[in-house]
Structure 1
């Protein structure tokens, strides 16, 4: 079983490795994700992450709470995102998910809040 914080670090900051390779390590082939009410499959998530990588300079992940119980997973984390244009955002996410039998994520449901107070330009 894996921590989503570690997965996010690899997906968003390990840019020399293709998204599909990082995702294959951490997500089952039938992976589905619901973010703010919208469902996406594995390939759509990969496309979205590839696009995000082009828009950001770096991401810091701070894991605030995490629970793993059998195949169930939950966490609350903060992402501090530095965009290519120098702006920064803080995003707080609440995540509930399940693992496949092989330990990779099978499903994640996430709600994300963007904190406008912490959005700045340097």
Structure 2
């Protein structure tokens, strides 16, 4: 399964596998992203190494997570999505992040580059 084949499944599965799974984070990252993948999140560029440095501590903080996809579109090698990432913290509480993502796919269907704008939604 690649982001091109099923963007909604990628948006749901990747955070689950990366944030909560037992599999090596590098293996998970490489399954869905090219080796030169770059994520620009709220203006901050994150290459492969910086993403891996983010995943490992996130696994220690998250007790659970779910993704609520509002929109997901793939058109050729371009994609766009709007979704919520709802994270339950081990120390209690929940953080809901609204994410707007635009990306570029490689020929093999994996994600090559993504730009995201995020905001934390108020707790309900």
**TM-score, length of structure 2 as denominator length:** 0.88
**TM-score, length of structure 1 as denominator length:** 0.90
Is 2:18 the partner of 1:11? Answer: yes
- 3-state SS in 1 of match to 2:26: helix
Residue equivalent to 2:73? 67
* Greater displacement, 65-74 / 4-13: 4-13
For residues 69 and 83 of structure 1, the distance between their equivalents in structure 2, rounded to whole angstroms, comes to: 35
Cα RMSD (Å) of the superposition?
Answer: 1.2
Asked if 1 retains the 8 angstrom alpha-carbon contact of 2:94 and 2:123, the reply is: no
Residue equivalent to 2:110? 104
Asked if 1 retains the 8 angstrom alpha-carbon contact of 2:25 and 2:52, the reply is: yes
For residues 92 and 123 of structure 2, the distance between their equivalents in structure 1, rounded to whole angstroms, comes to: 16
Q: Please identify runs of 4+ aligned residues in structure 1 that moved more than 4 A.
A: none
Aligned length: 117
In the TM superposition, what is the alpha-carbon distance from 1:9 to its structure 2 partner? 2.4
**Greater share of strand:** 1
Residue equivalent to 1:36? 42
For residues 115 and 70 of structure 1, the distance between their equivalents in structure 2, rounded to whole angstroms, comes to: 31
In the TM superposition, what is the alpha-carbon distance from 1:83 to its structure 2 partner? 0.7
In the TM superposition, what is the alpha-carbon distance from 1:54 to its structure 2 partner? 1.1
